[in-house]
Amino acid sequence: MSLGPLMVDIAGTALSSADRDVLADPLVGGVILFTRNYESRAQLAALTAEIHSLRAPPLLIAVDHEGGRVQRFRPAFTALPALASIGARYDHEPHHALHLATETGWLMAAELRALGVDFSFAPVLDLYTDSSRVIRERAFHAEPAAVARLAQAFLRGMHGAGMAGVGKHFPGHGSVDADSHHEMPVDPRQLSTIRHRDMQPFRLLVQAGIDALMPAHIVFPAVDALPVGYSRIWLQEILRGELGFQGMVFSDDLSMSGAAIADSPVERAELALAAGCDICLLCNDRRAVERVLGGLSFKPQPLSVVRMMRMHGRAALDDAALQQSERRHAVQAALAALAGTA
């Protein structure tokens, strides 16, 4: 059975019989975990092992664990800094900041891979602006070149720990005030401006070999009337064509208000897949998941299947070895020092 085009969530810290039924559906390709799914390191390892055992090839397991206020697992995990704190260090000590970005990416990935999580939705490639309610300190920096250099270093660390990277939110979410979790952001700028500013980190990370990208739930009316994740112009003509991106495209959560261009979750999934997404996230709405599983007509796309297989985690330190790792202890000390100077 190949992996399907839907990534879903589960209710608790262990799989229920209803969860197992959903995850057995051929339209499902992965699971995204949340804070409610974590109790302890041993519990998480058992949960990911069971999820991976359900199917062959194994379902993908993902989490939002980028640092700062977006870190789903906290007890017994290293507290990761907001990326902007690394960017602030870059202004004064660029070489140190790049090293810190690499080591932070490695530690984030190593702690997750040791417990069976395939990847985190990271790094953030958006630009920092004071006006953005949803991005702000989640971004490395306000300048595109700095974001690109720091994100590439962070990605290098992730790869070193056996984890693929997912850059977000293409072509840039940092320049809008609205939060797409609750409303539809609209960015009136011209494509030339976006190319020159917000898209630069994405262009450079594509060249650096980033594994996957996630589009923003934003409308850029000067380019297309549709939000980016539903737009063939953005995903096919610009991302695949102009930027030459060959990796995987994840939709952002189709349950978000910024994705609500259609009432039916089935139609939302159909529109996202037709635009060029390889897999659609549908979170915190089991009824919508069941509607999509019952109503989506879809044939596996060979290229999408290949891209999904490349997202599986690679060889990693086991948890006992990681806990004793001198590198882990050194990174934790460096992050503690960074927090002390913030």
Residue 6 pLDDT > 70: yes
Q: Give residue 81's pLDDT.
A: 96
Bond from prior residue into 26 cis (ω within 30 degrees of 0): no
167-181, 211-225, 234-248, 294-308: which range is least confident on average?
167-181
Edge-to-edge strand ranges of the sheet holding 248-249: 166-170, 212-215, 248-249
Angle of CA points 12, 117, 215, to nearest 5°: 95
Q: Give residue 184's pLDDT.
A: 80
For the annotated catalytic residues, the residue numbers are: 181, 252
DSSP code, position 235: I
Q: Give residue 131's pLDDT.
A: 80
Question: For 47-56, what is the mean pLDDT?
Answer: 98
Distance (Å) of CA 182 to CA 165, 269, 271: 26, 19, 20
Measured distance CA(290)–CA(239) in Å, rounded: 31
Residue 163 pLDDT > 70: yes
| Residues 169/126, Cβ–Cβ less than 8 Å | yes
Question: For 221-225, what is the mean pLDDT?
Answer: 96
Give the chain's count of helices (H) and strands (E).
13, 10
Residue 251 pLDDT > 60: yes
Q: Give residue 120's pLDDT.
A: 98
% the chain with pLDDT above 70: 95
What value does the mean pLDDT of the chain take?
94
pLDDT tens across 110-134, in order?
999 999 999 999 999 999 998 887 8
Measured distance CA(219)–CA(189) in Å, rounded: 10
Q: Give residue 134's pLDDT.
A: 86
Cβ contacts of 318 within 8 Å, gap of 6 or more: 114
Residue 9 pLDDT > 60: yes
Residue scoring higher pLDDT (109 or 298): 109
Q: Give residue 180's pLDDT.
A: 52
Question: For 44-58, what is the mean pLDDT?
Answer: 98
Among positive and negative, which fits the CA dihedral 259, 249, 160, 127? negative
DSSP string across 35-60: GGG-S-HHHHHHHHHHHHHSSSSPPE
Q: Give residue 300's pLDDT.
A: 79
Residue 62 pLDDT > 60: yes
Question: For 222-242, what is the mean pLDDT?
Answer: 97
- In three-state secondary structure terms, 211 is coil
Q: What is the CA radius of gyration of the chain?
A: 19
Burial class (CB in 10 A: 0-12, 13-18, 19+), 44: buried
Cβ contacts of 40 within 8 Å, gap of 6 or more: 75, 76
pLDDT tens across 253-289, in order?
998 654 556 679 999 999 999 999 999 999 999 999 9
Residue 312 pLDDT > 60: yes
Length of the chain: 342
% the chain with pLDDT above 90: 87
Q: Give residue 342's pLDDT.
A: 55
Q: Give residue 262's pLDDT.
A: 66
Question: For 232-251, what is the mean pLDDT?
Answer: 98
Name the pLDDT band for 2 (thresholds 50, 70, 90): confident
Question: For 201-228, what is the mean pLDDT?
Answer: 96
| Residues 223/233, Cβ–Cβ less than 8 Å | yes
